[in-house]
Amino acid sequence: MQLKSSWTCACQDAEDTTARTSKGQEHVMISGAHVILYSQDAEADRAFLRDVLDFPGVDAGGGWLIFKLPPAEVAVHPTDGPPQHEFYLMCDDLDAQLGEFRAQGVEITRPVSEQRWGRLTAIRLPSGAELPLYEPLHPVAHSL
């Protein structure tokens, strides 16, 4: 399974992270996003990201792994409750992806549900946490 890409700024040339302001001054653009997953078993979850999801990574020192993610997008949803954040992995073919996960012994924790925006399920990380996964039915922004 290959999920290897990085999220960069929404620039024509991802290597060029500078832009001109309306006054002609140069400034640095956002160059990426850093997602943090808090875990009761960080070592096992890191191994899962590396070995099962096949995310490449770097050692930031002392075995502290940071992984490259596939392309990403962000959405802001209204809420009447307290603000919160969610993290989902996306795939192009949910049924095929679930077949690969099952073949690797990954627990599927939710039956696939059909939402107006996509097909949703979740997998179990070694720490016991759930990681939602969906096949979007909406237009995606990650490859703009």
Going by pLDDT thresholds of 50, 70 and 90, the confidence category of residue 18 is: low
pLDDT digits over 50-74, tens only? 999 999 999 999 888 999 999 999 9
Residue 73's Cβ-count burial label (10 Å; 0-12, 13-18, 19+) is middle
pLDDT the model gives residue 130 = 97
CB 120 within 8 A of CB 134: yes
pLDDT the model gives residue 1 = 33
Show the tokens assigned to 5: 């890409």
Q: What is the pTM of this model?
A: 0.76
Cα→Cα distances 24→20, 21, 44, 112, Å? 5, 5, 49, 50
Q: Of 120, 117, 115, which is closest to residue 137 (Cα–Cα)?
A: 117
Q: Answer yes or no: is pLDDT of 23 > 80.
A: no
pLDDT the model gives residue 32 = 85
End-to-end Cα spacing for the chain: 23
Instruction: Quote the CA–CA distance of 30 and 52 in Å, as a whole number.
Output: 29
